[in-house]
Amino acid sequence: MVMPPSFSFAVLPILLAVLLLQDESNAQLSSTFYSTTCPNVSSIVTGVVQQALQSDPRIGASLIRLHFHDCFVNGCDASILLDNNGTIQSEKDAAPNTNSTRGFNVVDNIKTAVENSCPGVVSCADILAIAAEASVSLSGGPSWSVQLGRRDSKTANQAGANTSIPSPFESLTSITAKFSAVGLSTTDLVSLSGAHTFGRAQCRLFSNRLYNFNNTGNPDPTLNSTYLTTLRQICPQGGSGTALANLDPTTPDAFDNNYYSNLQTNQGLLQSDQELFSTPGASTISIVSSFASNQSAFFQSFAQSMINMGNISPLTGTNGEIRLDCKKGN
């Protein structure tokens, strides 16, 4: 039976729409991406992270930070893991990362364990995403279904790392703009800042708040005076800039909502932390208060924001590659 011409024209847009949808879905990540090719990938990654945590209580925070600093530069493509070579200027040497990012050896250990089980299948970008989730859940925080299917970049972007990653010295307006530039909302900003419920920071990242804030010759007025005394003992004037302080003075290694109640008592360690609560009229204040009073609301929001961050511009399909060694291209 011959169809009238009008029928063909009516069907054509529908067919095109279906094809476009299929093409789009290929570019979407999925929690079941490795269900047939590497079904145990999550438990392999979690096992290595769990082992690392036994000897290094900081490692969970360090691993989630690698994922964050990766995603903000050219998307979640494991570009942060590439070492310098003839053509690559490593992001590891960018100002936000140098002498600061850590955990690369653990990522290598994870990669080795995954390669032994499923050679050439799982990307380094996905390993960072799974390791971030494992770090949080093993430290008492929420679990979530990690979306997978990212591929690894063949290049790094050191200049981008210098400009795109939020800094602890920036204003709330500036940090909000950097989140917005990668499609993340103010709620995402407040949720993801809650990752500072564990881990450490070096004195050089906040000592300006202790002695000479904004060249006033005085400490940051939004810093709790008792906390100021404690921090001055850890970071004496003219002392080591690399000495460490807990980001959360109350439960330093547990993933909980104390970060937000700390902000309410002016005990945020970094300027970028305390600004969330102390910037007059900021829309972040009510979100901080909500998370301080309701840990499950924070956990739910954090999990969603981690998924949102993990969705920043992934390489999928035939773009990029599956690196065999996370430190270098194939």
Work out the burial of residue 6: count CB atoms within 10 Å of its CB; fewer than 13 is exposed, 13-18 middle, 19 or more buried.
exposed
Residue type for position 185: S
- Structure tokens, 242: 């690399």
The tokens of 151 are what? Answer: 């591929």
- Please give the Cα distance from 163 to 48 (Å, whole number): 32
DSSP per residue, 163-180: HHS--TTS-HHHHHHHHH
Buried b (16+ CB within 10 A) or exposed e, 280-308: eebebbebbebbbeebeebbebbbebbbb
Using CA atoms, how far residue 113 sits from 125, 135, 195, 197, 325, in Å, is 15, 17, 26, 29, 12
Q: Which residue has the tokens 């970028």?
A: 272
Q: Calculate the CA 46 to chain-centre distance.
A: 17
Contact 92, 80 (CB under 8 A): yes
CA–CA dist 77, 313 (Å, integer): 8
Do residues 80 and 153 make contact, with C-beta atoms less than 8 angstroms apart?
A: no
Cα–Cα dist 32/9, whole Å:
37
Whole-number Å distance between alpha carbons of 277 and 24: 39
- At what angle are helices 59-71 and 104-117 packed, to 10 degrees? 80
Identify whether 67 is a catalytic site residue: no
The one catalytic residue among 69, 92, 111, 200: 69
The catalytic residues are 69
